Structures are given as structure tokens and as C-alpha cells.
Amino acid sequence: MKEEVLSFMAKHQLIKPHATILIAVSGGPDSMALLHFLKTIQQAYDLRLVALSVDHQLRGEESKQDLAYVEEKCREWEIEFVGTSVNVKEYKHKEHIGTQLAARKLRYQFFEEQMSRLKADYLAFGHHGDDQVETMLMRLVRTAESSSFSGIPVKRNFAGGYIIRPFLCVTKIQLEKYCQENGIIPRIDPSNEGTDYTRNFFRKNVIPLLKNKNESVHRTIQNLSETLQADEDFLQFEAQMLVEEVVQFEENPKKVMLSIEDFSARASALQRRAFHLILNYLYDDLPKDLSYVHEDHFFSLIRNDKSNAQIDFPRHLKVEKTYNKLIFSFRQDEIASEFESVITIPGETQLPNGAKIIASFKSEIPFQDENTYVCLKDKVELPLQVRTRRDGDRMSWKGLNGSKKIKDIFIDEKIPLYERNRWPIITDNKGEIVWLVGLKKKDATAIPNKDRSLYIHLKYEQGKF
């Protein structure tokens, strides 16, 4: 077994000489075999070995004895030891998560702290080939996301160093035999013998059937895992490039926008991965109820012929299609929904969306653009007001026969649905619309001032629609 593991380690460049390796040790056969194995090569590679062990306080006196056992073996084998106890039950209730997840989070917090404190290069785990088979089968049953099928990585970045798994090339039986041959009597966790947990069910019921057909199934699965991981690494890199090229990100609040045309021009494999990269940006941690169904809805939205449509995701995330644009945002109370305010002249009128209207009197016709409106003071009924749209709103302007619905103007100008209900509209005191900000202006106005009456000058300074 030793030569097989050394060959596997060399193939994947798992360790370098003179390194500091932390070893996660529970006291079970896998981790004890790993601890002993690394001790046998310590001198040849000039390694500093440190065993890390965690008592999760889930099995009372038994788990305390596990910790004491590991500490005693480290003393016997002259290996540095760092142990700790964590209160999984308390953390579980505090964070409202399951027991296994709570234990894992606390365990990895401890590992990360020790990697930093000891300036370690590697954190070694005793996962073996049967674990790999179990993991890939479980993921096959639970998920339709192809990137999950690459299984347990042999080596990955962690806390400024690497997590390594030298035993993925061997089986559970080989490790148990290794323990016997080297006089190691490991601790046994009774929970591993039941079939209550999903992994144990696969271990007891499924793996034996596979091994009956192929004793080396762990090698087949490991080779598959490595191939899939290499392919996935490449696809993830390309997907990241896609995201950087066609996706716009905003903070406070988080928002993502993309061009449907540019996004759809890429390979579907990259689109799927880019979609998940976007979700990883938007969610601090992915919701459990997020599934391939949401992915299907997302791509159906892109393919939909409708110019405007929306789908909802967990935790109030919404995805809106507006013509050739997709917008991901979290639903909040409408920032500028149904507001109405009198415009102070002269002065500044703050709008709920963070924008403002700066109003002043001018004796000459000032500069005008799409964000300004000018009219003769005597030609409008004061006070002017700013508000959002209402059912039946219409306006007219020079050159238009009759009037036009505000709704139709928004459609013609391709204004996104989510912006229409909070778009600022300026009216006079009779309720007549004189300025649909940034889009249309009623011609009240900018004729030369023969009577020397004042001009009203409105300037819109944008916040966030």
C-alpha cells in the first residue's frame, strides 16, 4: 500500500520537502493510518507533522476518550498534537442548521485557525477511495449539476495552503489491514455502523454491490473524478471570463445585469456555469431550496419571446427580463413607489429614490438637455409637483396630434418594467404633465422672453431609479 500511496502523491504533487503538514485525526482507522503513514515518511521528506483533533461533544465520554487516545498516540509516536472541544449543539441552535453541518463548520474554523497559527503548508485528511465512490453516487442521486460530479478533490486551496488527500487511491479494507499490520487499534464511532445517515446507507448497501462487480471500482471512480475535475476547472475558467465580459455587478444593494444577446451567444455549458457564478455572488450562502428547477426557469426566461417577464428565486431574489436585458435583484420595499411632492422654487426637492430636482428662476433661457426642463413662469400653473405615474396618465407635446399614454411612451422607449412605477413625472397645479423626466417635455416654453418674465429652470440629478 505504501508504494501505491507514494506513487499517487507524486502524480498529484501532494507534498514538498521541508513542509509543515497538519493532519486531521479523529482516532478512527482512516485518520490513524494516515497519521502513522506520514510518520513513516517524515524523515525522508523532512516534514513537520502536527495532529489536529476535535471533540464535538456529541457522544459524551466516548468522544473525550477519542481525543485522549489521539493525544496519547501522538506522544508515543513523537508527533505534535493540538486538540480542542467544540459545542456543536449550542452552535447548531444558534445558527439554525443541522448537526452535521454545525460540526463541520466548527471543525473547519479550528483547522483554519491552526493553519494560520502554525504557518502550515498542508492539511491532510484520511478520505479513501470508498469515500470517493460514496460521495459521487450520493451527488448523482441528489443533484443534476454536472460540476458536482467531480467528487472529493485530491488537492485544493485552503487557508493559505492546501488540503490534501493521499489515500483516495486505496480502499477502506486496505487501511484497516494497514492498521492491523502496524499494531494500531483505532477508535470506532458507533454511528458509522448504522444506516441512519445517507452516506452510511450507501456504504452498507450500495458499495458492496458495486465491488461485487468490480473490486477496483474505487480506481475507476477516482480516475473519473480526476478527469471530470480537470474538465470542470477549464469550464469554470471560461465561465468566469464570460461573466467578466458580459455581466455588470452592483453593490449596496446587490444587483446583476446582463445582455441576453451577448450571454446567449456563448456555449450552453458556459452559460450554466456563469448562471451559478452569478448566484454565488448574490447569495452569501446558497439556499437549500435552490434547485435545477430554478435553472430551467432562468433559461426559459431567456428563450421566452415576451419583452417583459419576471421569475422569483428563494429569499426574495427576482430575475426580470426587460427587452434584451436581464436584471437580478432582491425585492425590497419599493424605494420610490407612489410618491408625490411639491417642487420648491427656488430650492432642492429630494426624491425617495435618492435623486433630486434643483429648481431656480432665470432671466435668460438657460442651457437645456434631457435632464433639464425650462418654461416661462407665467405659462404654467404653480406650484409644480413631482410624482410617479397613475392609471390613465397621458401627455402631449409639440408635433403630436392629441396626446399619448405614459404607458405607451415607456414601451416605445423600452423602459424596464421595474423602473416605470418609480419614474418621476412633473405636473402643474392642474395635474397636466409638463415633463416626463429624461423622455418627453411639453412645449410650454423656450421662446424669447419679450415680457421680461422669469423662466423656471428644473434640473434632475440622478440617484438610482
| Known binding residues for ATP | 26-31
Binding site as annotated, residues:
26-31
The C-alpha atoms of residue 273 and residue 94 are separated, in whole angstroms, by 33
Q: Environment class of residue 55 by beta-carbon count within 10 Å: exposed (0-12), middle (13-18) or buried (19+)?
A: buried
Fill in the amino acid letter for 265.
Answer: A
Place of cell 471533540: 55
> Is residue 49 within 8 Å of 37, Cβ to Cβ?
no
156 bridge partner residues: 163
What is the SS3 assignment for the chain?
CHHHHHHHHHHCCCCCCCCEEEEECCCCHHHHHHHHHHHHHHHHHCCEEEEEEEECCCCCHHHHHHHHHHHHHHHHHCCEEEEEECCHHHHHHHHCCCHHHHHHHHHHHHHHHHHHHCCCCEEECCCCHHHHHHHHHHHHHHCCCHHHHHCCCCEEEECCEEEECHHHHCCHHHHHHHHHHCCCCCCCCHHHHCCCCHHHHHHHHHHHHHHHHCCCHHHHHHHHHHHHHHHHHHHHHHHHHHHHHHEEEECCCCEEEEEHHHHHCCCHHHHHHHHHHHHHHHCCCCCCCCCHHHHHHHHHHHHCCCCEEEEECHHHEEEEEECCEEEEEECCCCCCCCCEEECCCCEEEECCCCCEEEEEEECCCCCCCCCEEEEEHHHCCCCCEEECCCCCCEECCCCCCCCEEHHHHHHHCCCCHHHHCCCCEEECCCCCEEEECCCEECCCCCCCCCCCCCEEEEEEECCCC
